[in-house]
Amino acid sequence: MKNNAGHSDVSQRTIDDERQMTGAPLDAESAVLLAESAKATAAADGHHEADDKQVGASIRRYGGADRVTGTQQFVSDLRFTDAAQVTLVTLPVARATITGIDTARARAMPGVLAVVSAADLPEPMPRFGVSHQDRPVLADGEVIYHGEPVVAVVAETLDQAQAAAREVTVSYEERPGVFTLDQALAPDAPLVRDPSHRPEDDEHRHTNVLETALYEWGDVVRAADEADVIVENTYTFPMVTHFPIEPGGSVVVPTDSGGVDVYSPVQHPYLLQRTIAKVLGIALGQVRVVAPDPGGGFGGKQNPKLEPLIAFLALRLRRPCRLVLSLEQTFQMMRRAACRVHARTGFSDDGELVFHHLECDYLIGAYADVAPRVMAKGSYVGAGPYRIPNVRTSSRAVMSNTTPSTAFRGFGCPQVAWATESQIDAGARALGLNGLDIRRRNLVRKGEAFFRGPYEATADGHWHQSLEKAAELIGWDEPLPANRGRGIAVAIKPGATSGLSQSLVRFLADGSAIAYAGTSDMGQGARTLWQQIVADELGTPLELVRVVSGDTGIVPFDLQTSASRSTVFMGNAVLEACRDIRRRVLALYSEETGVDEESLSEEPGFLRTPDGPMPLLEASRVALGALGGEFVGQGTSRMRGRKGHPLGGDAAFYEFNCTAIEVEVDMETGELLLHKHVSVSDVGRELNPTQVISQDEGASIMGLGHSQMEQLLIDEHGVIRNLGALDYRIPTFKDVPLDLRTHGIENHDGPGPYGSKGISEGALLCTSGALGAAVNEAIGTVVRDLPLTPERVWTAMQEAKAAGA
């Protein structure tokens, strides 16, 4: 069995040994061997190393030693003097009217400091949200999803809080709820949201549809008359949870000024700061958000959830309040939107796409969160990276009495890509073509439009290169043994469409440097990239570069950490800050020495003088003179939106990926064995090849989760049946493909530093499509509902056998 990146066993063992180190420095010989091994490992899959620069090299992860040695401080590890413990009281149903709350016994319990319900909060109930201000701080008169907090109990110890919570009696009347798309869209469906809470001019006010999106060009009705082959099918994508290893939680500490310090693993510290300030009615400057690195986020920790409640409690009690959720409770706070797509697609007899018509329904849950944008962004690229003259994509964000959905790696695109890629393969089968050939004929070339109309979008990379490389690595034309199949799929995701990232870099007198950046490092290794950029641009040894992030009281503004935007937006800001320092050194050097500025120039690591190049550190010391001091550079990366654009602006870049899979199906059980899994991404430039490999491998395996096994199961009361690690399956080492390979296509054509693009989501966008096609080839029948569990695959085989009997 090959290792999971398809590299040599010796190389992989060397890296594995290094990963287990406790942080002690390597001896010279070991360091050389490790460096050579890492370069060979990266080059084997098309990930190349720089020879003399930090950028482009597989630098060890900044802060990685703390993670692997267990010294990393997550929110639940932080200790606060006099911190009170918080426990939540919820109901065992998803939809109910609260008729009474008896807290007398709980208040009398030892150690109890407060028992808080909606009646103890300001009126009207403070609400918050990203796209809609609809989520109450605590359930107000009703609950509309399983796990919605009704009462918060605060006590000296967690045991006391939990004991008191069991003594809280909530009287309620269960009401009919809607938990599926069919239930939510029925003409007589109970409404998730009271119409009085929606604008009077909202055409969907008396339905469970929150928002809609429509993208179209050409004429799909006319085109249907011209198509030689038409395929029409319905596909479903399940509810899945983010399953971060670190559960949710936060600590809020009241300050003497009447403000709060909030400790949370949130991905958007500045968004949380705005939310807390608005809900509490205080100034932004009175809210400080400290965001320790999260133990997994994947979009689930982007937006505020329970932090406003803890802030109210802390101010009420005038002491720190701490809430750390269990894994089961974390499941109830976040999930990916389920989706059903009805697709009708037409082809010419030579395999060219004629039209593509999609009707997409996203099941978004009880509150809006960011789900309307998930629907809009996923639907925007619903037709895929193809040359299609006639397209219509109509989508709906449908509310339900289920856990509110939020951002999740891929942001709505995997759901629609599952349908579109499956339709491409259905057309290929009808025309006698294979999956590679039909994509070769229809995939757009660089600069060619895949979205037409006034807000045209074009391919920003040579995407055919990824397709051909994936076909090569999977061995597309090699004969297959019995019960095996191969599939190939492509997909795209828009990057950020607007944003603002600011950075400060300090270049100190001894040549060390400190970079300040608000980007959260949630696993993507952002701080490592800033360290590399600063080292190269200032000529500073890598080990002398420190990075500070995750504290709104210290670092400058960053809009958000999402959409694979960190490399492009904050990377450019850090790069600009370094260049600002070089310009300042040049100007002060000229002033100090009397050398005309016109005869000086700066470049990475050096100041060029009439006498030749001078290391930047030496030039800075001359410039600073006897007084010493430091240089401070500021960098800003801003992308303005585009008025009227359906996404708010043009995407800064597109993540493009091609995935190919070879699978073997056990014909007796329906179980799948993945022999090969290939992921090829258009990366622009790899700033750190090891991190690119890690991101693509992680995304690939995560994609296999929702493709093969993951799904949240809901009972008739709207209760999640498979809460927690025992009943909710995610991929483990035994599920990893026998041969998992990643490859990066580098053309240095991205908008980020040195021609880079954002990555990390691409490798899961079309995993389902590739796996579905491979399973179809192996068993001879199609499964259109995810996940492709053994039971579902086996049932499809039995039904096909019965139909053919």
DSSP string covering 567-585? HHHHHHHHHHHHHHHHHHH
Please say whether the beta carbons of 656 and 385 come within 8 A: yes
Indicate the residue type of 520. Answer: S
Per-residue pLDDT reduced to its tens digit, 673-730: 999 999 999 999 999 999 999 999 999 999 999 999 999 999 999 999 999 999 999 9
Quick one: tokens of 681?
């991404």
Quick one: tokens of 359?
């009707």
Q: What is residue 112's DSSP assignment? A: E
d(CA 534, CA 545) in angstroms, rounded, equals 7
SS3 152: strand
| pLDDT for res 307 | 98
**Distances in whole angstroms, Cα of residue 606 to Cα of each of 326, 537, 672, 738, 749:** 52, 9, 56, 48, 26
Please say whether the beta carbons of 592 and 619 come within 8 A: no
Phi, psi (rounded to 5 degrees) for 661: -135, 140
390-399 and 353-365 as β-strands: parallel, antiparallel, unpaired? parallel
d(CA 703, CA 687) in angstroms, rounded, equals 24
SS3 232: strand
- Regions of the chain where pLDDT drops below 70: 1-51, 563, 805
Indicate the residue type of 662. Answer: E
Q: Which helix (H) or strand (E) holds 134?
A: none
d(CA 293, CA 75) in angstroms, rounded, equals 8
Indicate the residue type of 144. Answer: I
Indicate the residue type of 318. Answer: R
b/e 782-792 (16+ beta carbons within 10 angstroms → b): bbbbbbbbeeb
Cβ partners under 8 Å of residue 676, min gap 6? 474, 475, 660, 661, 662, 737, 738, 739, 741
Q: Does domain 338-496+645-804 have CATH number 3.30.365.10?
A: yes
Per-residue pLDDT reduced to its tens digit, 644-654: 999 999 999 99
b/e 235-269 (16+ beta carbons within 10 angstroms → b): bbbbbbbbbbebbbbbbbbbeeeebbbbbbbbbbb
Phi, psi (rounded to 5 degrees) for 6: 75, 25
| pLDDT for res 303 | 93
Quick one: tokens of 680?
């090829």
**Distances in whole angstroms, Cα of residue 495 to Cα of each of 413, 679, 710:** 11, 19, 26
| pLDDT for res 82 | 94
| pLDDT for res 284 | 97
Taking residue 701's Cβ as centre, other Cβ atoms within 10 Å add up to 22
Phi, psi (rounded to 5 degrees) for 517: -145, 135
Per the rule left: phi > 0, alpha: psi between -120 and 50, beta: everything else, 678 is beta
SS3 790: helix
| pLDDT for res 522 | 76
Q: What angle do CA 497, 500, 501 make, to 5 degrees?
A: 125
96-102 and 169-174 as β-strands: parallel, antiparallel, unpaired? antiparallel
SS3 423: helix
| pLDDT for res 16 | 32
Phi, psi (rounded to 5 degrees) for 289: -110, 120
**Helix (H), strand (E) counts: the chain:** 21, 30
Closest CA to 205 of 401, 403, 399: 399
Taking residue 113's Cβ as centre, other Cβ atoms within 10 Å add up to 21
**Distances in whole angstroms, Cα of residue 629 to Cα of each of 14, 434, 510:** 43, 66, 10
Per the rule left: phi > 0, alpha: psi between -120 and 50, beta: everything else, 116 is beta
Q: Does domain 79-175+249-324 have CATH number 3.90.1170.50?
A: yes
Q: Which helix (H) or strand (E) holds 208?
A: none
d(CA 375, CA 385) in angstroms, rounded, equals 18
| pLDDT for res 37 | 42
| pLDDT for res 22 | 31
Radius of gyration of the chain (CA): 28
Q: Boundaries of CATH 3.30.365.10 in the chain?
A: 338-496+645-804, 499-639
- Give this prediction's pTM: 0.92
| pLDDT for res 52 | 77
Quick one: tokens of 486?
């191969």
SS3 content of the chain, % helix, strand, coil (to 5): 35, 25, 40
Question: Within 13 A of 527's CA, how many CA atoms are on the CB side?
Answer: 22
Q: What angle do CA 132, 198, 171 make, to 5 degrees?
A: 90
Q: Which helix (H) or strand (E) holds 727?
A: none
Residue 357: beta bridge partners? Answer: 344, 392
d(CA 299, CA 404) in angstroms, rounded, equals 13
Phi, psi (rounded to 5 degrees) for 641: -70, 180
Question: Within 13 A of 237's CA, how many CA atoms are on the CB side?
Answer: 35
Q: What is residue 496's DSSP assignment? A: -
Cβ partners under 8 Å of residue 570, min gap 6? 501, 503, 517, 518, 519, 526, 530, 558, 637
Indicate the CATH number of 499-639 among 3.40.50.300, 3.20.20.70, 2.40.260.10, 3.30.365.10.
3.30.365.10
Please say whether the beta carbons of 407 and 301 come within 8 A: no
Closest CA to 149 of 273, 266, 248, 285: 248
